[in-house]
């Protein structure tokens, strides 16, 4: 459960990140992020331990065999107390 303010994966900023923390805790480099979430987002993050696990997750994501649900907490005056907002995320070629 990644808290707000921590990176998912290492970058050049030297800030704390989930993968580095887990690699240090388990004393292994064979931990990889299955996916990432933004620094300012909290939530469940799936990681793979070992090449076989990472490959299996990669295959699931490539074939879209993973179902994801997102929950957002919003602030302000909403038109309705209940409802569902559905949208498909768009992957741009220059961000793959």
- Show which residues are catalytic: 38
- Rounded distance, CA 45 to CA 71, Å? 14
Q: Which two tokens stand for residue 66?
A: 């993973």
- CA-based radius of gyration for the chain: 16
Q: What is the largest CA-CA distance in the chain?
A: 50
């Amino acid at each position: 459960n990644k808290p707000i303010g921590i990176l998912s994966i290492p970058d050049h900023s030297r800030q704390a990140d989930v993968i580095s923390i887990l690699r240090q805790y388990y004393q292994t480099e064979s931990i990889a992020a299955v996916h990432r979430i933004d620094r300012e987002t909290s939530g469940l993050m799936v990681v793979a331990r070992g090449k076989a696990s990472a490959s299996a997750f990669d295959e699931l994501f490539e074939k879209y065999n993973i179902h994801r649900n997102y929950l957002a907490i919003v602030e302000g005056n909403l038109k309705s107390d209940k409802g569902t907002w559905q949208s498909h995320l768009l992957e741009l070629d220059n961000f793959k």
